[in-house]
Amino acid sequence: MRSIQLNTSIPGPRSRALADRRAQAVPRGVSQLTPVFVSRSEGAVIEDVDGNRFLDFAGGIGCLNAGHRAPGVTSALHAQADRFLHTCFMVTPYESYVRLAERLNALAPGGAPKKTLLLNSGAEAVENAIKIARAYTRRPAVICFEDAFHGRTLLTLALTSKTHPYKAGFEPFPSEIYRLPFGLPEGEIEDAFHKVVAPESVAAIIVEPVQGEGGFNVPPAGWLAALHQVCRKHGIVFIADEVQTGFARTGRMFAIEHEGIEPDLMVTAKSLGGGLPLAAVTGKAEIMDHTGPGSLGGTFGGNPMACEAALAVIEAIEQGGLCERAAQLGARFRERALAWSRQFAAIRDVRGLGAMQAFELADAESTKALTKYCYEHGLILVTAGTYGNVVRILMPLVVTDEQMEEGLDVMEAALKAACLDRTPVEVA
């Protein structure tokens, strides 16, 4: 029996003081999902500036599959910090960028020769994938999906689906973006080529193999393969956005592998950098090489610190068997969550792939109340979904069995308390 205790000192005085300064210095548009400020972290645990301990089931929104301060990552960073920090790869290159490109080219699904471009964020990588697809096909249009999330820059906002809080007020967006329902059957996609946009105008279809921010939506089996076929038939570049699904989260290195697809271009970020800002476009060499010298890049893309971290992350995933671990963790969550769904009418759905799992509640208010209960009882969680009513787990895959059970127990207590009752709850 575990006693789930309310921590009345969350947020503590130091976090409260920092929140006041934050409110003065940082715009409201940058949201704050928990009221605590971090002082240190390790594995799957965060400690705040008041000494409170939290299990981190958010992982900086899916960026820490290999864990907070993974040992190989921190030692690689220390060593790199003693050598050099920045030269700009376009000015004075260094080996780690090349080595990471080689690693990603080898890891990317399929046998075609690959090349990799490194960037700073998921949105920047998506923008570059679209640029490359347009240049290669000499076509303007891009097809994306309802409930998609591809970033917050202007082009990626055009691809992102959710209006509030992301898009509203930031119009106009770039043109030639067409949105179809996620999971739309192949025949209806062909129909859209008559009613919505001509296929010979379409440069790319961009899709998340499992939608992340949109609510951990898993498409029907075979749909991604059918979409891939549609792309092949019409000479459209198939872009897999693996920013949230990548690096072992779904039980494979990349989620698209579950369907045996070789994407033309694949976008990665988040967990690639092990906590440092890093993103990549990895794709068929023939497509990636289409644009001329100087057309791609940026000052910081593939920064040496981030490259060293990423090489250590890939090593940690492979050596630590994190794909297998993701499958185990996901199975354990599903077992518990399916039992909750029989016990608590509030749960409307349990879904996911590998360790990318979630449950859906009726509305955003109860979802917010549940996550509040959780952080007040030592568990950090983030929500998702177009309607903000999905509770998702993105814990580091190095979480121990005991920590996993502890986190699940807090979620169960939150459901039992109906997110309102603040008394401690005994969990079996």
Ligand X SMILES: Cc1ncc(COP(=O)(O)O)c(C=O)c1O
Rounded to a whole number of angstroms, the minimum distance from the CB of residue 362 to ligand X is: 24
Could you give the C-alpha distances from 248 to 43, 46, 255, 279, 319, in angstroms and in order? 16, 22, 8, 16, 12
Among 67, 151, 301, 407, binds ligand X (CB under 6 A): 151
Residue nearest to ligand X (CB): 122
Residues 6+ apart with CB under 8 A from 267: 122, 125, 126, 129, 239, 240, 241, 242, 243, 279, 280, 281
Is 391 a binding residue for ligand X by CB under 6 A? The answer is: no
Residue 277: cis peptide before it, omega within 30 degrees of 0: no
Beta strands in 348-424 (DSSP E): 349-353, 356-360, 379-380, 382-384, 390-393
Bridge-based pairing state of the strands 265-268 and 237-241: parallel
Residue 141 — φ and ψ, nearest 5°? Answer: -85, 155
Of the residues 122, 219, 274, 283, which one makes contact with ligand X according to CB under 6 A? 122
Binding flag, residue 320, ligand X (CB under 6 A): no
Q: Which stretch binds ligand X (CB under 6 A): 43-51, 145-153, 290-298, 359-367?
A: 145-153
Binders of ligand X among residues 211 to 270 (CB under 6 A) are: 212-213, 241, 243-244, 269
The yes or no reply on residue 208 touching ligand X (CB under 6 A) is yes
In sequence order, which ranges of 112-209 are alpha helices (DSSP H)? 122-137, 154-159, 186-195
Q: Which pair of tokens denotes residue 154?
A: 């202007």
- The answer to the question of residue 275 lying near ligand X (CB under 6 A) is no
Rounded distance between C-alpha atoms, residue 58 and residue 379, angstroms: 9
Largest Cα–Cα distance of the chain, in whole Å? 64
Which one of 25-33, 149-157, 163-171, 223-231 is the stretch in contact with ligand X (CB under 6 A)? 149-157
State the number of binding residues for ligand X (CB under 6 A).
15
Minimum CB–partner distance for residue 124 and ligand X (Å): 7
> Can you tell me which of 101, 119, 126, 313 binds ligand X, judged by CB under 6 A?
126
Stretch binding ligand X (CB under 6 A), from 136-144, 190-198, 207-215, 381-389: 207-215
Of residues 67 and 122, the one with the C-beta less far from ligand X: 122
Residues that bind ligand X (CB under 6 A): 61, 121-123, 126, 149-151, 208, 212-213, 241, 243-244, 269
